[in-house]
Structure 1
Amino acid sequence: MDVVLKNADDYLFESLYNKVLPTNVFDNRTSSLTADLAMTPWTPDNPYRQSLTLFLILCFGGWIFYLVSAWLSYTFSFDHEVMKHPKFLKNQVRQEIECAMSAVPGLAILTVPWFVGEIKGYSMLYDGTPQTMYEWCYLIGTVPFFLFITDMGIYWIHRLLHHPLIYKSLHKLHHKWIVPTPFASIAFHPIDGYLQSTPYHIYAFLIPMHKWLYLAMFILVNVWTVLIHDGNYFSHSDIINTTAHHTVHHLYFNYNYGQYFTFWDKLGGSHRQPTAEQYDAALRNNKKVWAAQSKDADTIELEDENKALKYKKH
């Protein structure tokens, strides 16, 4: 993020801050925060300024990336026929967008400290061009390793979010969309989204990774999040956690918690392979199938509510 921050400062924020925040803006030391700011020059390496800039980048960048990527997927890939499903809510697309847009600022606030830590040099991210065969092999090898390790973290966090004592207050909002569109990709409670993003941030502070590759993977993560909600079932993989697998997760709740692979679901006993309901176009939009899915979803939701009540009693 240091390169992103520097370019943002050079091309936008330096001049913006000079216009909006004159040098004497912090002269009135009415609080400890303004006192700290007054004693610290409002320069590009000021941590308060870096935090504010990163927040603005994450907010506006997040909104733009979300709207553009979800719209592209919704327009060119999403099967609009499923919007006739009985579990598709009235004005659902609008609700998904409103939920996602309102979640971004909270998610940005929680994420900023991680990026500030990276910029201050506390992470394991490194720079430079690999010079040896070993360095190139390590660079390439970090891609599957990054996906495998972060997938493990997301699996267990996602599964924990489905625990009856936590589910209703955090993760249930995202499962409001039983038949999701690409606009549901980040339509969740901001703390829910943040918790599922922590494996990516923790990874950068524990395992060496090239910063440009890390940035590329971070973008890929967000693209993948949109794709698994787009209703396009071109892949029938038993290894990759495809859109079909995630569709099963939204329909039947307690399966397929993984982000990229089915490995951890198989290991944890929560894997459910998609069937012709997802892969066969005729069955996918069959009203009898939809009715059965709706009945199953209602039954599972009621069972989960009963489990939550039992946990609270004990």
Structure 2
Amino acid sequence: MDIVLDLCDEYILDKVWAKLVPLSAFASSYASVNSTLAIPVVHSTSAWSQMVAHLPHPPIPMDSIASLYSSTVTTATPIAHLSAWPRDYIPRQLVSLCALTLVGVHILYFLFAWLSYKFIFNHDMMRHPRFLKNQIKLEIQCSLRAFPVMMLLTLPWFQAEVMGYSKLYDGLDTYGYFYLVASVPLPCISRITSGSVRRVPAVEA
């Protein structure tokens, strides 16, 4: 999930968060920095920016603003196009993961449910007397009501993975080829050995 979140941040969510929580809403936090960096500050007076200004946000140090400004915008682009919530800010990660999980589960559900209904489901069952009226609609509604609960149950695991607690790695230089090859059969061996152990009933004296 960390790779999915990183890709979505790169191509979509950075722009979305720049609109939702713009850095310009916290202009007073970096007013002193602007004199040093000569960044075109835009003080937004919209109702949304005034409401967002009351949200908590991490400190905005000078080097972060300078690096963000130099790497993401040009000198003609105002700093309002940046977000006050950086990628590593946990509230932003939680909201982004919630949105991605809900969108993903809806896509997976309707895609495979349609394929199953189209090519696997026996349509003759719909003529069965015990087949409820609008049963397909009721099943879809039941699934949709369950998605938010499923999202909340999986959210802590996704957040832990994004924060690095899963110990996953994407480079062979971390542990080498031996660990990559050995990590495949090791779980299988563990399952075989645990399954081969039989429980011996206790013998009463």
Same fold (TM over 0.5): yes
**Residues 245-264 of structure 1 aligned to structure 2 (within 5 Å):** none
CA distance in 2, matches of 1:109, 1:133: 37
Q: How much does 1:69 deviate?
A: 0.9
Partner of 1:85: 128
Partner amino acid, structure 1, of 2:8:
A
Partner of 2:117: 74
Alignment counterpart, residue 183 of structure 2, candidates 138, 163, 170: 138
CA distance in 1, matches of 2:99, 2:3: 16
Aligned pairs, how many?
143
Q: How much does 1:51 deviate?
A: 0.5
Is the 2:9–2:87 contact (alpha carbons within 8 Å) kept by the matching residues of 1?
Answer: yes
**Residues 1-314 of structure 1 aligned to structure 2 (within 5 Å):** 1-23=1-23, 24=25, 25=49, 26-28=52-54, 34-35=55-56, 37=57, 39=59, 41-129=84-172, 131-133=176-178, 135-142=180-187, 144=188
Structure 1 residues 80 and 140: CA distance shift in structure 2, 3 A: farther
Structure 1 residues 62 and 145: CA distance shift in structure 2, 3 A: farther
Is the 2:58–2:89 contact (alpha carbons within 8 Å) kept by the matching residues of 1?
Answer: no
CA distance in 1, matches of 2:164, 2:124: 49
Report which stretch shifted further, 16-25 or 94-103. 16-25
Structure 1 residues 6 and 145: CA distance shift in structure 2, 3 A: farther
Structure 1 residues 95 and 52: CA distance shift in structure 2, 3 A: same
Q: Considering only CA atoms, is the larger Rg found in Structure 1 or Structure 2? A: 2
Deviations 1:91-149 (A, max 9, x none): 1111111111222123212321211111111124333347445641422554x579x69
Is the 1:59–1:105 contact (alpha carbons within 8 Å) kept by the matching residues of 2?
Answer: yes
Structure 1 residues 135 and 18: CA distance shift in structure 2, 3 A: closer
SS in 1 for 2:146: helix
CA distance in 2, matches of 1:18, 1:64: 26
* C-alpha RMSD over aligned residues: 2.9
Structure 1 residues 106 and 79: CA distance shift in structure 2, 3 A: same
Structure 1 residues 69 and 140: CA distance shift in structure 2, 3 A: farther
Is the 1:55–1:108 contact (alpha carbons within 8 Å) kept by the matching residues of 2?
Answer: yes
Is the 2:102–2:147 contact (alpha carbons within 8 Å) kept by the matching residues of 1?
Answer: yes
Q: Give unmatched runs, 5+ long, in structure 2.
A: 26-48, 61-83, 200-205
Is the 1:43–1:49 contact (alpha carbons within 8 Å) kept by the matching residues of 2?
Answer: yes
Is the 1:50–1:116 contact (alpha carbons within 8 Å) kept by the matching residues of 2?
Answer: yes
Is the 1:27–1:38 contact (alpha carbons within 8 Å) kept by the matching residues of 2?
Answer: no
Is the 2:21–2:85 contact (alpha carbons within 8 Å) kept by the matching residues of 1?
Answer: no
Deviations 1:237-271 (A, max 9, x none): xxxxxxxxxxxxxxxxxxxxxxxxxx9xxx9xxxx
Higher relative contact order (CA 8 A, sep 6+): 2
CA distance in 2, matches of 1:8, 1:145: 37
Is the 2:105–2:147 contact (alpha carbons within 8 Å) kept by the matching residues of 1?
Answer: yes
CA distance in 2, matches of 1:46, 1:38: 7
Q: Give unmatched runs, 5+ long, in structure 1.
A: 29-33, 150-262, 268-314
CA distance in 2, matches of 1:45, 1:134: 29
Report which stretch shifted further, 45-54 or 96-105. 96-105
Deviations 1:144-203 (A, max 9, x none): 579x69xxxxxxxxxxxxxxxxxxxxxxxxxxxxxxxxxxxxxxxxxxxxxxxxxxxxxx
